[in-house]
Structure 1
């Protein structure tokens, strides 16, 4: 056959290997010794080994280009506002995964096809600290702290659609259950806290007392060096002091230092916030 004809017309769909229309030499088989077939692997002519296995001669780049051109008329434009992963995640926070299995057998049923998976980021849910902590405890190992991803998987129902509905029910139940607060939860004391909270620890009282003391000294001092200019005239309101940017930064730095542990990043952040809080000017750059 000519080698310059349109291959998509010669081999338009999946088909058993035909030696007469393939324009290139190919060999497949096995020879036991040099006496059999003169020791040469059989050519494509009447080669049953080439006919046994499937081929992909119907999926060349030219075939795929033609298929895409035909399917293009049925496609719609990509929705505006979903150009990035972050935008898509904002509008579609839930990700579902199912699988279909195709094979040649007396039965087309496959038990694996009923498995359904539901994924989402925990930060996409509207949860306060108590609800988030309870949600993590309820889902257990299904939550990955490093990726902030929650993965639910189910195969208990016979159909994948049923498993998807079940997973959505589980998510709904766990979400509303995490918002419930039992009476015994109010008995939690400071030593029972799983994380360090600056607002309920002695560090807050110490910090505010120190700022008030410094303010009192600044009021009677004539020196401008080291003065905390960000402090208001009236420092009697603790809530107002806690809302000051310098105090908020210090609070966050202390919590990260204790909860995440000591490392270069948390220590440097704590050092810089203390210097800003107390207006300490570093002479060594």
Structure 2
């Protein structure tokens, strides 16, 4: 009995897992057998032929995969224009006629192309130029490196001007040859420069510089506004010529600098016309120039007029009435010369003219 029990306990043929899988496996085997029976026969009970169900050809995915991996055979077919491509054509420069429309051939800036330019150009150096001339244009890299101006022919420039002329207004005929009148009517000048040099690039950092020149007298500012404007601009104003100069080059392009200069000029004009509350506390000592109205010279002149009014002198009769003094031409001339003498740099000429006006004012001039 013990021996039989021992034999029954040993798993010699199968395990518990295999025993549990048997009913499940038998069910799947039955389904597979049924599917194979359905697929292999049709309604009439005939079997399908393999050549009709799965033709022996490669799918597009397989062909693409072989091409990507390099295992596919590449068949090259001749193109329809094989004869035109094999034909040898002469360079375009040899086919051109003297009446060729060159602006249509070379309409814009472009690197040099030897087969297009119909000119026998040479460039380069030789050890002995008298024996061997410089290199020809074909395959010459020196001609390709440098910028050319083949697009700026006289005919091309004329066409450009005719196209732009539609958007421009004609210059007034009355101002031609009259610089003073032109400065009065057109007080603002915008100046910039174009630079041409030999090099691999057409760009020049100096070309972005913009200069605005404006006559301050043409702005029609008030006395306070003009003084405030001069304080804001500092050394940008030339007192002798009465011209304000604004130069900008901090932006990257010329157009940006032009817009920035216009913005600066607009802001200066707007700020100069503003009047803050603290500006009303300004006194004569705060002015940029010495004024004749608040000067000691005017006070001395008034005291002298009071003394002269008591005398009976025909040469100084015009000084006796202090109320009509500001209307006299001698007094106006003296006042202007006094302002120049006190506010402008002192010169021998200004001293002499100031002395002459003092003599005329006092009637001492011979």
Q: What range is the shorter-chain TM-score in?
A: 0.5 to 0.7
Whether 1:200 and 2:294 are equivalent positions in the alignment is: yes
1:78 matched to 2:171: yes
Asked if 2 retains the 8 angstrom alpha-carbon contact of 1:93 and 1:120, the reply is yes
Correspondence for 1:29 among 124, 130, 142: 124
SS of aligned partner of 1:270:
helix
Q: Give the match's secondary structure for 2:214.
A: strand
d(CA) in 2 for partners of 1:20, 1:198 = 74
**Is 1:133 aligned to residue 221 of structure 2?**
no
| Paired residues for 1:46-125 under 5 Å | 46=138, 48-49=140-141, 51-52=143-144, 53-57=146-150, 59-61=152-154, 63=155, 67=159, 74=166, 77-83=170-176, 84-95=178-189, 119-125=213-219
2:244 maps to 1:149: yes
TM-score, normalised via structure 2 length: 0.52
Number of the residue aligned with 2:136: 44
Residue 265 of structure 2 is aligned to residue 171 of structure 1: no
Instruction: Select the structure of larger CA radius of gyration.
Output: 2
Alignment length, in residue pairs? 253
RMSD: 4.6
CA distance in 2, matches of 1:259, 1:162: 35
Partner-residue secondary structure (3-state), 1:218: coil
Per the normalisation by structure 1, the TM-score is: 0.64
> For each residue in 1:52-110, what CA deviation from the matched residue of structure 2 results, as whole angstroms up to 9, or x when unmatched?
1343355455x368548955984764334443444444444445578999xxxxxxxx9
Give the deviation of 1:131 after TM superposition: 2.3
Structure 2 residues without counterparts, runs of 5 or longer: 1-92, 107-111, 196-203
The C-alpha deviation readout for 1:195-235, integer Å capped at 9, x for no partner, is: 2222212211222332443343235xxxx6xx235x17xx3
Change in Cα spacing, 1:181 to 1:21, as seen in structure 2 (3 Å) is: closer
Structure 1 gaps of 5+ residues are 102-109
